[in-house]
Structures are given as structure tokens and as C-alpha cells.
Amino acid sequence: MAVVRVIGRDGGTQNLNVAGGGQLMDALRDANTGVQGTCGGMMSCGTCHVYVDPAWADRLPPKSEDEAAMLEAIGELVELRPTSRLSCQIAVDDGIDGLCVEIAPSF
């Protein structure tokens, strides 16, 4: 189990207890944080876009080419930051305990 701190679009924060073995997108969607995950984690919609706290950016596995391409594609619709990630590409395990993410604006 990992605890993930989530900053909502309204600036409010909540701590989510997230069971290991899945993707962060699922936990964020199930907790009604505003993450939609429309494509189910296939990196084809960008509706699970989050901003990872800079202190965590280098602690996560790097973006794949497909993830980077999807982020680039939504960059015309929403603000991208150096720490922009698709939460469907962040695996939940004990290694992300303490991770902080901000939910990106919807588009």
C-alpha cells in the first residue's frame, strides 16, 4: 500500500491509500479526483494527465516515447510542465509511497 498526496484542480489536497499492483490512473479515477482515464490506460487520450512534484520527477521511470508523444499532442490544449506525466504510466508499488501529484486541467 502506498500513500499518494493529490492536489486537486481546486487546490485542495487529499491523501489516497493506493493498493499496489495497478496504475495510478485507476486510483485517481476511482477517488473522483477528476482524472477520467477515458482510454483505459492505452496512452491515446491524455485524460489522466498529472503534474508530478519536482522532487519525485527523477524517482519515477522515464517517459516512454509513446507517453512523450501523447503529452506533446495534448500540449496545444493544456499547459505542459517538465514534470507532466500520464498517470496510466505510473505503476503503483511501495516505491511511490509519498508521491505527490497535481491533477492537470481537463480539456
Would you call 32 exposed, middle or buried from its count of C-beta atoms within 10 A (0-12, 13-18, 19+)? exposed
Query: Which amino acid is located at 54 in the chain?
Result: P
CATH number for the domain whose boundaries are 2-103 = 3.10.20.30
SS3 74: helix
Written as nine digits, the cell of 78 is: 493544456
What is the model's pLDDT at position 34?
96
SS (H, E, C) 2-33: EEEEEECCCCCEEEEEECCCCEHHHHHHHCCC
Per-residue pLDDT tens digits for 26-37: 999 999 999 999
Per-residue pLDDT tens digits for 60-93: 999 999 999 999 999 999 999 999 999 999 999 9
In the chain, what are the helix, strand and coil shares in percent, each to the nearest 5? 25, 25, 50
Q: Give the separation between CA 84 and CA 87, rounded to whole angstroms.
A: 9
Does the pTM exceed 0.75? yes
Mean pLDDT across the chain: 96
Position of cell 495497478? 22
